[in-house]
Structure 1
Amino acid sequence: YLENKHSKAEQDGPFVIFNDGNHRMLQQLLSKGYNVNGIDQEGATALMHCVLPSGGVQLACADLLIRKGASIDQQAIDGSTALHSASVVGSVSFIQLLLMNGANPNARDNDGRLPLHWATASRSVEALELLLKESQYNVDVTDGSDMTPLMWSCYNKNELIAKRLIELGADVHEKDTDGRTAAHWAAKRSDINMLKLILKPDMTYFKDVKGCTVMHVSAHEGFQAGVEYIMSLRPESVHDTDKMGRTPLHYAAAMDRVHVCYHLLNKGADASQRDSDNKTPLDYALIKQHEFVVALFTCHDASVGDFIKMQRYI
């Protein structure tokens, strides 16, 4: 995206879309006075657009733009730089080019994320290690929400990067601003391999700011494999309660997770337990009209009172 600074339309922000890697065309545009630091509607420069939506990069074009004075650390509207763009696709060659020309590996976007955080979306361990080496921060550096690279690798379901981060000393016990650990994020993303990689028995007790354990999160997401694995580490987790007195069964029933409800009931979950609003798991299933969950509870030791309530909603 190159803005023509000699054009009257400069004030309107006209841009020439340039992402096909045509080096000669780029040279021609620059020779005609196009602004090498022109931006598109999202504040992205031509240098940032050398990273293509397909994940490829136009390295020769990037080199030319830099030689013609492209601002290395110019930020887009979201606060990201070209180094963030290169990091999210894991392009080691582009990252090296930017770093050699003075790119700041400690630049943060509007959410406080470093290129290192963005790199957890790629599968390039080499890119991750390069950014970590160049950054002034350690492997557990947090963003504006106190999320670490390990948490982001869980969010991105990137087991390869998560393994390397742990090998490099990432702390699996770190918590974000909502009190969630990497294991909470693995459960939220329903990633059983990641959960097995990260979750230790002591971590099954950890609660977020709402009092939810990884068991609550797994039940909420309908993550049956996670529920089963957590119970293999700590069977009594079926009875975990959050700050509202809600059990995993409350969450599963409210979210219409019939298979998880069935598993929890068979493992001893108390269907009659009431939360601080005096509601049982069945109450939530009835309120939300989750027919299959209601039917499941009917087949399990529902009380006379429960049957009366069911008649009211049918």
Structure 2
Amino acid sequence: MTHSSFSFSFPARRSLRLEEELIERHKYKKNLAFQQIKSYTLKKELSRSMMNLMQPVMCQDFLVQNAIYCGDLEAIKQLLPKGSNTNLIIESRGEELRWESKKFGLWSLTYEQELTTPLHITAGRGYVDCLKYLLMRGSDVELAPGGKTALHEACLNAREECAKLLLMYGANPNAVTEDGYTPLHLCTKPESLQCSTLLLQFGAAVNGSCLQDDETPLHVAASCGLEEHVDLYLRNGASIEKQNDEGQTPLHSACSEPHGTQDMQRYFNICQKLVSAGASIFTANQDMQTPLHMACKTVNPHIVDLLLQHGALVNKMSYGSETPLHIILKLACFNLDHCPEHIVRSLVNYGAIRVWPGALPKVLHHCCQSPRIIEVLINTYDHVKITDTWIEAVVPEILQKHQGFYDSLFDLANKPRSLQHLVRCKLRVLLEGQIPLAVPKLGLPTYLQNYLLLTFQDYVH
């Protein structure tokens, strides 16, 4: 139809123009909606593909593994460029051996295989730059294919900077391993103090209990001899009376951990801190053993003196009917370098029940390598009946090594004790249980005070 065929009135032309505008507007809206739908679909597909990309996958590429284990940042950047998946799972060799049967019924001793990630490896080895790169590329800080997170690994190896990075990227300071340990439980080295501080700053629970043995970080620090960690936890409100599943408090843990002579002062300092903070010295564990029993087991004279000075029960029996004196006499010959004779003397001075005279030959047989222990025990009696059984109880080599002392001991079979010794025994009976406190108040010369306190003379008279 053309304009020349017939004429349109003005209202008709206006109506036609409005209709054309409506059609154009509809086409525009339809096209705009189509573009929005297309954009939304593309975004969803991209998001889905990114999620699939960041899912953990096994890594069998030895080049990637070598770069990660060596901390080669440039190689990692080339092998794991922007947009690649950094959530890789690597099968590594564990530290423990186990028997495996692969085929034909043949068993072999091989290392356990553990699952780890690049984040765990770099955090545990202290590769800070590599760790930062992986975190910036979206590595999952909570990934724990082997049962523990990268933060656990950093704290276990005392990698302060790595722990700080992981915490800043959202690592959970209270994450637990498959054995129930939090990162704070794994701070077991003196160098891990800053890791512990960071964990507490980021909200770690100072009284969090381990699922396996119900121990708190304070138990762990006390048993590992970490003085500064103990101070840190006490300042942050650690419970000093929390008992683990064996009934042991942190004071028990500090007293019961075996240690060498070079560590005796550290463990004494920890016990002193705990006692000063209010730790009970009377709490017994499931076996009815107090911290004093434990200190006698580890043969630490300093801790024994500390506990006795604060009123520890010197004659309390465990479920095995053992007093602290029984324990130290059994273990003395295995810890001669720890000066067990000092513990025996302290226990006796604080009122330990004396050994039954009929059992003295047996004690002599077990403790003959420490003549000073025998000296202390003998000097608690005003007289003893020495027989041939006593002489037979001492090994010839020991008898020869300490000839002077044992000659003076066996001479008592033919003569009475000295008057000076008899007076000492009488005074000690009168001061029973209070000897270390009462003797300094008697105003006696130092020599006589030491004599009453059974200071070692290396002979008996």
Structure 2 residue aligned with 1:72: 141
Match of 1:62 among 123, 131, 134: 131
Shift of 1:250: 1.1
Residue 294 (structure 2) pairs with residue 192 (structure 1): no
Matches of 1:94 and 1:185, distance apart in 2: 30
Amino acid at match of 2:287: K
Structure 2 residue aligned with 1:255: 331
Larger Rg: 2
Structure 1 residue aligned with 2:74: 24
How many corresponding residue pairs? 296
Q: RMSD between aligned alpha carbons? A: 3.6
Residue 154 (structure 2) pairs with residue 86 (structure 1): yes
Matches of 1:84 and 1:160, distance apart in 2: 20
Amino acid at match of 1:36: L
Asked if 2 retains the 8 angstrom alpha-carbon contact of 1:19 and 1:52, the reply is: no
The structure whose residues are more often strand, as a share, is 2
Unaligned runs of 5+ in 1: none
Structure 1 stretches (4+) deviating beyond 6 angstroms? Answer: 32-35, 279-282
Instruction: Report 1 or 2 for greater relative contact order, CA contacts < 8 Å, sequence distance ≥ 6.
Output: 1
Shift of 1:41: 2.0
Query: SS where residue 204 of structure 1 aligns?
Result: coil
Asked if 2 retains the 8 angstrom alpha-carbon contact of 1:36 and 1:65, the reply is: no
Amino acid at match of 1:139: V
Shift of 1:15: 4.5
Residue 207 (structure 2) pairs with residue 140 (structure 1): yes
Structure 1 residue aligned with 2:225: 157
Shift of 1:241: 1.7
Shift of 1:67: 3.9
Matches of 1:290 and 1:261, distance apart in 2: 11
Shift of 1:210: 1.0
Amino acid at match of 1:40: S
Asked if 2 retains the 8 angstrom alpha-carbon contact of 1:219 and 1:227, the reply is: yes
Asked if 2 retains the 8 angstrom alpha-carbon contact of 1:119 and 1:128, the reply is: yes
More deviation, 17-26/217-226: 17-26
Query: SS where residue 228 of structure 2 aligns?
Result: helix
Residue 301 (structure 2) pairs with residue 224 (structure 1): yes
Matches of 2:165 and 2:325, distance apart in 1: 53
Unaligned runs of 5+ in 2: 1-56, 95-113, 258-263, 396-461
Shift of 1:84: 0.8
Match of 1:171 among 230, 239, 242: 239
Match of 1:205 among 255, 267, 282: 282
**Percent identical:** 21
Shift of 1:186: 1.6
Matches of 1:25 and 1:149, distance apart in 2: 39
Give CA deviations for 1:130-169 in whole Å, capped at 9, x if unaligned. 423544x642111121111111111222211211211111
Shift of 1:211: 1.1
Matches of 1:243 and 1:35, distance apart in 2: 53
Asked if 2 retains the 8 angstrom alpha-carbon contact of 1:92 and 1:126, the reply is: yes
When normalised by structure 1's length, the TM-score is: 0.78
The structure whose residues are more often helix, as a share, is 2
